[in-house]
A and B are shown apart, each in its own frame.
Chain A
Amino acid sequence: MIGKTAIVGNGDGIMVFKAAGVDTFPADNEKKARDILRKVAKEYQIIFLTEDLARPLTEFLKRFDEEPYPVVLSIPSGAGSDGYGMEVLKSAMERALGVDILFHND
């Protein structure tokens, strides 16, 4: 199966990926991002989403975890990482193992 990659985010940061061959979808706020994701999820297999949009949409993004595709990945936006990606990893680990084997910082 041939898949396509897309990036959803706000600001100019995502434009650099356009030049690198990823289709870009600008979204300023979470509501818009949600609409775009709904549409994009049907067509694209790999979707990058900037952290500032991923955080308010955490619940919404859970539905994509049922099936292998599409894959949604949160990436830091222009302002740098706010640790959202690590939080997701951490919560998955705590659900599965019940203990923290990686971060040791609580």
Chain B
Amino acid sequence: MARLNVNPTRMELKKLKGRLATAVRGHKLLKDKSDEMIRRFSVIIRTAKQLREDVEQELSNVLRLFTIARSVTPPEEAETAFSMPSVAVTAECETESVMGVDVPKVRLVNEKRAEGLPYAYSEITGEADYSVEKASILLPKMVQLAQTEKTVRMLAEEIERNKRRVNALEYVMIPQLEETIKYIKDKLDENERAAVVRLMKVKSKA
């Protein structure tokens, strides 16, 4: 490991010792942070997987129903029937902090504009009613999945970054500082011995 390019003086030694103490403390903190993040991550990813399985299954049901509904309705009629939503979906978007990472937190607010479905029952087949209703029910779950998956991705990124920091401290910074400190100490000791010897020599001649 390469040692830092510094002058072997007492001032430098003192400075480096301070830096080493900080680095060691930082390393410990970051390592603890990493452990906790991984623990949270494994909880969140389990929920994400469960949610995704549910959503995918339900969504394909909805889409299948809807495809049936579409196939028995003329395209123009379907177009007009579905383009006027009876509900407006707004989401309250906030952020939440998971181990210092800002992740999204969403709450859905449904605003009903009109009662019932947005079209006359006589226009469209029953499958359409079901699929629209189911889609509305599924929506909060989808939003929750979106939020959870985003959290997973952001947390994964942060864990990776944190791991790099821990490694940089553990395998580069700390060894470097230790080696430099040892070098300066050796050098100072050497100087001291030289001074003593010089004094002894001077004294014996006198």
Contacts and interface: CB of A to CB of B under 8 A. Distances in A.
A45 B66 contact: no
Contact of B85 (A21, A45, A89): A21
Interface residues of B, number: 60
A75 B136 CA distance: 15
A68 to B, nearest CB: 4
A85 B161 CA distance: 23
B6 interface: no
B7 to A, nearest CB: 42
Interface residues of A, number: 41
A96 B60 contact: no
B82 A102 contact: no
Contact of B45 (A48, A77, A92): A92
Contacts of B91: 2-5, 45-46
Interface of B: 38, 41-42, 45-46, 48-49, 52, 55-56, 59-60, 62-63, 66-67, 70, 78-79, 81-83, 85-95, 102-104, 106, 110, 117-118, 131-132, 135-136, 139, 142-143, 145-147, 149-150, 152-157, 159-160
